[in-house]
Amino acid sequence: MENKVAIAGIADLSGDFSWLKQAEKRRYFATQDLVKLLSLPDIDVVLDTTDSQETNRLIHELIKPVVNVMEARPGNLLMALLQSKEELLEAKRLKSELGAILDSVQDAIEAVDTNGVIKYVNHAFTRVTGIPEQDRVGKNIFEVSPQGALAQSLIRQKPVTGYRTVVGGSDAEVVSNAAPIKVEGEIEGAVVVFQPITDILKLVDELQKSNIIIENLYERIDQITGSKYTFTELIGENKIFKAAVDMAKQSAKSDSPVLITGESGTGKKMFAHAIHHASSRYSRPFLKLDCAATPETILDMEFFGYDKGAFSGAVRTKLGRAELADGGTLFLDNLGEVNLNFQEKLFKLLRDKTFRRIGGTEPIQSNVRMIASTSQDLKDLVRRGRFREDLYYHIQAIDLRIPPLRRRTEDIPLLVNHFISIFNRKYGKKVSELSTEALQLVTNYEWPGNIKELEFIIERAMVVAEGSKLEKEHLAPYIARFSGMGMQQFSEIVPLDKMEQMMLKTALSRYGETLEGKKKAAQALNISLATLYNKIKKYKANL
């Protein structure tokens, strides 16, 4: 389609229209009043041929922001208009495209001319301020918003950045960046771009949340680990044990909570690791929390985290394991040790998949798979009112029972060979087997500390062994206390601190690492509970 230019009207400020033919006078709207001409609808371009600065200034004050003003040489208006046809059409197209672009921008934009007359606002300006375009365009910025960044930039004739103020004529508090508009080195006006403070604060809040997550991940990266053990490391041919492994493999196919029960040292932690490793959550975090070893006063903080300012000393937000394990698996060891208040919060997390940090008001989603273990009889604790019944039935959706080592004695040779292989690599030994007497000794022993105790004794025997076999005398010193053997069976001299470590580990293996177990261990060793904790801390690296 051919582009056309139509003349809407003509103004001659002198009132002399003799240069127009009669037909042209009838065809075009002609007036001496410039205001009437500029009030005509649908004007796209005003062509100024007066060569008068005062007239040009008046035109710019009266026209709408979408109207272009072009200057031409004085003379025949029609000739000047026809000569400028292509230029007029190109200017109109460019202005239309620019308007569409600016209206698609999410930031508010406002532009003025050199006198401060507002020539343009985009759609975002109205959205942010609530001021319609028709109520803003044509007003003077020095009257409607004299303290704003736009007015200040025009006065100073230089950019104004990061300027926080309230937009004149509205309640919108914004952060603005304004700058002069220069054409060929001359200032032709100014433009401002701004965002509401609420948007800025949202961005800051999101940034702070990201920083909190990063800080917590750096602080606790050692806790966000993959599983260490797989089902291939669960060694045994005993029917009860193999049935437990099969059930564990089935449980890995679902996200249901798992309760692992068994005596201390039977391998409950290894089962938890293996279940996570075989599950669809394998690539996500596997976090552990020992409920018995965590003081009750900080258990909630460790598990649920806390918000900044939740209590004295909470100088920043801290994420708990429930949040860090999102999408992964959370293993709660010694679950029977937790108090009823913690049990209630844990039940809500399992039921609703939500929790609140300490001091927090907003619920936080956490898609975490729960695995718990205990050496206690939770049913008995429920009967005694020490464990919530609803939590018990929820946590034991899959009930996994691990048999003690004394009920799977046929697995002892397999386990011994497994440990010999591990400690050969660790200590550079070449032990191949146990002697007949040594094998009989370990088979007849009841292993109150189960697999953990067996591993401990094999390791200690490997340290002192020199040949290719572990003999009875290598093992006897470490099981004599519980097997009824006398000290006369000791064939090696062991440093007292080493012996202390051995007895400490044996006692913990026998009675467990729960608070109740540690009390019994301290009593058996004839020391106070405080002394026991000090020795555990002292020998932590070797226990």
**pLDDT for 481-517, tens place per residue?**
444 433 344 445 557 777 788 888 878 877 788 888 8
The answer on 417 and 523 residing in a single domain is: yes
**Which pLDDT does position 364 carry in this prediction?**
93
Instruction: Indicate if 261 and 372 belong to the same structural domain.
Output: yes
Decide which of 385, 401, 417 is a domain's last residue. 401
Q: Give the end of a domain, one of 50, 67, 93.
A: 93
Highest mean pLDDT among 24-33, 100-109, 142-151, 507-516: 142-151
Q: Residue 175: CA atoms inside 13 Å, Cβ hemisphere, count? A: 8
More confident residue, 139 or 220: 139
Residue 309 lies in a domain: yes
Average pLDDT of the segment spanning 65-81: 61
| 293 and 164 both lie in a single domain | no
**355 in the same domain as 263:** yes
How does pLDDT run across 16-70, given as a tens digit for each residue?
Answer: 777 777 777 777 788 888 888 888 887 877 878 777 888 888 887 787 766 777 7
Mean pLDDT of 121-149: 90
Q: Of the ranges 84-98, 168-182, 393-407, which is most confident?
A: 393-407
Supply the pLDDT for residue 437: 92
Same domain, 315 and 173: no
Note whether residue 174 is domain-resident. Answer: yes
Q: Does 129 share its domain with 191?
A: yes
pTM of the model: 0.55
Per-chain mean pLDDT for the chain: 83
Of 348, 369, 401, the one marking the end of a domain is 401
For residue 377, tell me if it sits in a domain: yes
Comparing CA positions, the residue from 291, 289, 279 lying closest to residue 335 is 291
On whether residue 416 sits in a domain, the answer given is yes
User: Is the pLDDT confidence value at 207 over 80?
Assistant: no
For residue 184, tell me if it sits in a domain. Answer: yes
Q: Are residues 124 and 268 in the same domain?
A: no
User: Is the domain of 332 the same as that of 250?
Assistant: yes
* Residue 288, token pair as written in the block: 């552990």
Cα 246 to Cα 239, 250, 271, distances in angstroms: 10, 6, 11
Q: How far, in Å, CA of 299 to CA of 338, rounded? A: 8
Does 172 share its domain with 319?
no
Query: What total of structural domains would you count in the chain?
Result: 4
Owning domain of residue 172? 105-196
**For 258-303, what is each residue's pLDDT tens digit?**
999 999 899 999 999 999 999 999 888 899 999 988 888 899 999 9
pLDDT of residue 78: 52
Residue 424: predicted pLDDT:
93
In the prediction, which pLDDT does 312 show?
86
Average pLDDT over residues 92-121: 79
- Concatenated DSSP letters for 315-376? -S-EE-HHHHTTTSEEEEESGGGS-HHHHHHHHHHHHHSEE--BT--S-EE---EEEEEESS
Question: Where residue 291 sits, what CATH number does that domain have?
Answer: 3.40.50.300
In a domain, 212, yes or no: no
Same domain, 442 and 392: no
CATH number of the domain that 446 lies in? Answer: 1.10.8.60
Same domain, 415 and 538: yes
Domain membership of residue 1 (yes or no) is no
Tell whether 50 and 172 lie within a shared domain: no
* pLDDT score recorded for residue 483: 46
Residue 140 is assigned to a structural domain of this protein: yes
